[in-house]
């Protein structure tokens, strides 16, 4: 259940981030907004993946 929430939340963050980065790249005529937003999204996804793995570890050990 936690994984479903994390994935759904990440999808929303990803979609909003892509739209925001696209507008900023167009407005500033620079690739940096895309690089910054992409890096932030990577950190968010890694944090979510670690959370899911930490929550799943006790269940994996039990089996």
Of 42, 48, 51, the residue nearest 17 (C-alpha)? 42
For residue range 4-62, what is the model confidence (pLDDT) as tens digits?
A: 888 899 999 999 999 999 999 999 999 999 999 999 999 999 999 899 889 888 888 88
pLDDT value of position 26: 96
CA–CA separation, 13 and 44 (whole Å): 9
What pLDDT was estimated at residue 41? 94
Q: pTM (2 decimals)?
A: 0.78
Residue 16 confidence (pLDDT) = 95
């Amino acid at each position: 259940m936690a994984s479903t929430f994390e994935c759904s939340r990440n999808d929303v963050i990803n979609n909003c981030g892509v739209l925001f980065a696209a507008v900023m790249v167009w407005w500033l005529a620079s690739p940096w907004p895309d690089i910054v937003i992409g890096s932030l999204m990577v950190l968010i996804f890694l944090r979510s993946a670690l959370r899911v793995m930490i929550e799943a570890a006790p269940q994996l050990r039990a089996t």
